[in-house]
Structure 1
Amino acid sequence: MLDHVSIGVSDIKRTGAFYDAALSPLGYKRLSHGDSSLGYGDKGVQLWISKTGKPVPADRESGLHFCFTAKDRAAVDAFHAAALKTGGKDNGKPGVRADYSPKYYAAFVIDPDGYRLEAYCGK
């Protein structure tokens, strides 16, 4: 249904470091970059990030949720570790979410601007 999504962030350099690290284990990379925008994907840009004033109020998290597919459980684990190392907050450690499905393995983080991210593997 969707071709791509765009989000606004407060610090493009910090955000670039975070997404470079968090998305790399999932096979996504930075495909476009400039002083005020970044683009991530595997074959084409699927996530656009651009600098904006204040994307999410400081006293709460964004209502947006993005789930990225991972090739395996190790990639989910690496996504979570890399995200925490580069300024993300834990929002659910890697593990099976049996209430979703017996094979639903996922990890959840909140990026430096308050966006909720998930990496998921169904194996």
Structure 2
Amino acid sequence: MFSHVMIGTNDLEKSRRFYDAVLAVIGAKPGMVDRHRVFWRANGGTFSVSQPIDGQPATRGNGSTVGFAMASPEQADQFHAAAIAHGGVAIEDPPGWRGGPGGLYLCYFRDPDGHKICGLYRPPKA
């Protein structure tokens, strides 16, 4: 359904370093810089950070979450750990299963610009 997700940043280089480390966990190569944006591609999707074109400060979306698909609970744990090790902030409950049997494995953190990011593993249906 989506071709890409782009979020704003006030520090392009800091965001590039952060997401290079975090997105490597899901197979993304280091981000490609294009003027005031950085792009990562993995698993058929594109994620980008951009300095706002209008010259105003980037702000986080209140109520917004960007979710990344994980291949396993262990990958979600690695994704979360990489984020925290590179300046992210753990939020909500620790990484773990939600919703009872057959539920989802989730982890949440905020990136250096305050955006809410989720790693989500959805087990195959039995």
TM-score between both structures, scaled by the size of structure 2:
0.82
Greater Rg, structure 1 or structure 2? Answer: 2
Q: For residues 83 and 37 of structure 1, what CA distance do their matches in structure 2 show?
A: 20
What CA distance in whole angstroms lies between the structure 2 residues aligned with 1:25 and 1:116? 18
Please list, as runs of the form range in 1=range in 2, the aligned pairs for 1:1-123 lying within 5 A after superposition: 1-42=1-42, 46-52=46-52, 53-56=56-59, 62-92=62-92, 93-98=94-99, 102-123=102-123
| Structure 1, unpaired ranges of 5+ | none
Q: Check whether the contact 1:62–1:114 (CA below 8 A) recurs between aligned residues.
A: no
The number of residues matched between the two structures is 119
> Which of the two has greater strand per residue?
1
Identity of aligned residues (%): 28
Superimposed CA distance per residue, residues 77-107 of structure 1 (whole angstroms, 9 cap, x where no aligned partner): 01101101111111132100126x6330010
User: Where in structure 2 are there 5+ consecutive unaligned residues?
Assistant: none
Runs of at least 4 residues off by over 4 Å: none
